[in-house]
Structure 1
């Protein structure tokens, strides 16, 4: 028994961080859904970026039950945007203006989040555009195949955690 005690303690040490990490809720097309302690989200990387995604660009839809946030859209841009430059989101033929700062962009309010999410559900492709600090066009494009299912999985994942 004494010989197995160090092994058991070591197992507990490595198991604790794993329990605190994100849990996969599934991969749906080009989107994944994940749950963490206080939030759930659907996420995807761009299929095309201005230049090879140097900043780890992504699009996400998040739920934070403890904060009352449901279906919040967030984009990490592939390049830091130029101050004062607009950030436009195009989903097929619809265009939305996003709020943004640095390398991040988001819907201006919860109503816009819901409208964007509804368009994502029906859409095929979306593109986020702005100008970089150097004035170059930044265009990150995402395929929407699987976005609706991943968003549903994230929403259900957080509903089960309440």
Structure 2
């Protein structure tokens, strides 16, 4: 797992909703800035399951200007999986993610950039995995508003150091 991914998990999971400034809500996505850290991120929750039950999963694209981290993708899986990798499908493209517990990241910055590019041109995204009992589960996301939220977070952090 990348060193920046470990930093991201610690910083993000410690206070995922603790951002000081809302930059806006763009359909299914929100953008936030915390100048004290500093960090900025775009975030969206997974869609409810087939039974209408809300999901505990979310995806974020984060920026930490002091660490020179920009556009890092992070998934909080709705359930823990014993797998060390999951696949995310965005439109017609598929990417492998590294998994630790309920957290998943791209393996490197190049894959982060490819995933973000795919987010900009697709309508939906889904992660397929198996839970501890082997049951197949999926976290699905609507991508309307993703590009705007990602851009808002990127611009907001470009002024922070």
Give 4+ residue runs of structure 1 displaced > 4 Å after superposition.
none
Cα root mean square deviation, aligned: 1.7
Residue correspondences, number: 141
Would the aligned equivalents of 2:19 and 2:32 in 1 still touch at CA under 8 Å? Answer: no
Residue 13 of structure 1 corresponds to: none
Compare 42-51 and 32-41 and name the one that shifted more.
42-51
Residue 3 of structure 2 corresponds to: none
Residue 22 of structure 1 corresponds to: 20
CA distance in 1, matches of 2:149, 2:88: 20
CA distance in 1, matches of 2:45, 2:141: 7
Would the aligned equivalents of 1:57 and 1:78 in 2 still touch at CA under 8 Å? Answer: yes
- Give the unaligned 5+ runs of structure 1: 1-19
CA distance in 1, matches of 2:50, 2:57: 10
Would the aligned equivalents of 1:31 and 1:44 in 2 still touch at CA under 8 Å? Answer: yes
TM-score, with normalisation over the residues of structure 2? 0.82
Q: 1:49 to 1:73 in 2, by over 3 A?
A: farther
CA distance in 2, matches of 1:74, 1:96: 13
Residue 41 of structure 1 corresponds to: 41
Residue 73 of structure 2 corresponds to: 73
CA distance in 2, matches of 1:49, 1:73: 22
CA distance in 2, matches of 1:154, 1:138: 30
